Amino acid sequence: MQLTSSSIGRKILMAVTGQAMVLFAVVHLLGNSSIFGWLNGGINAYAEHLHSLPLPIIIGFRLALLAMVCVHIWFGIQLTIENRGGRPQQYAVKSTQKATFASENMIWTGVLLGCFLVYHLTHFTFQIIDPQTAALKNLVPLHDAMVPNVLGMVVTGFKNFFVSLIYVGAMVALFLHLSHGIQSFFQTMGWSCDKSQPLLVKFGTLVALGLFLGYVTIPLTIFAGILKG
């Protein structure tokens, strides 16, 4: 099979940006888990730590994240169109794996995650969806200072059945996308062989499952009334 350097380059860029976002998802989950109280001051203290970082770091981080999302989506759409147009799968190493529901639907789980991200940022970062509960408008005391009430905003959000449903649905899409995406990264980079492939599939599925369970625990415990504001 003849591979063009442009298609390999695009696949590698997709794989690397994808893994960088997986890393972000892991760190974001660890930060969000402060909602369960392991950090003094909980998620409000965690958000305050993030917001007290120097502005160029915050802006640089957000721009880098945005650039990665754009590159990943742009090349993802291009490669899907090319593959559906009859061109072969372009991995650095020949694929020996079977198609699965997750691998066949990467474009659709990706589209769902893109929509979720727009909704999520509008909800918790720009705080436009429910302005009355916006953290920035409701300050609460923390260590002698007044800080945005991120806990109140998240808890009020997830008490709503439809909001929790959107998050749980999006996390199912995240699980499917990553359960294929993580092992596919190793394959694209040429770091897998017939022997390691089944292990990498298990590893990818395990990481995706860990992220799924970690993320859904937040809306589910709030909706069930176990975690309160």
In terms of Cα–Cα distance, which of 71, 80, 69, 91 is closest to 184? 91
- Minimum distance of ligand HEM from residue 20's CB (angstroms): 11
User: Which helix (H) or strand (E) is 148 found in, with range?
Assistant: strand 145-148
102, 112, 147, 150: residue in contact with ligand HEM (rule CB under 6 A): 150
28, 156, 210, 221: residue in contact with ligand HEM (rule CB under 6 A): 28
Q: Would you call 43 helix, strand, or coil by DSSP?
A: helix
- Minimum distance of ligand HEM from residue 67's CB (angstroms): 12
Nearer to ligand HEM, 8 or 210 (CB): 210
Q: What does the alpha-carbon distance between residue 154 and residue 140 come to, in Å, rounded to a whole number?
A: 14
Residue entry with tokens 């559906």? 84
154 binds ligand HEM (CB under 6 A): yes
Q: Is the dihedral of CA 99, 167, 216, 30 positive or negative?
A: positive
Please choose, out of 25-33, 74-82, 86-94, 187-195, the segment that lies near ligand HEM by the rule CB under 6 A: 25-33
Burial class (CB in 10 A: 0-12, 13-18, 19+), 47: buried
Interface with ligand HEM: number of residues (CB under 6 A): 19
Nearer to ligand HEM, 36 or 101 (CB): 36
Q: Provide the mask over 159-198, with x wherever binding to ligand HEM is found by CB under 6 A and - wherever it is not.
A: --------x------x------------------------
Residues numbered 36 to 55 that lie near ligand HEM (CB under 6 A) are 47, 50
Burial class (CB in 10 A: 0-12, 13-18, 19+), 159: middle
Nearer to ligand HEM, 34 or 192 (CB): 34
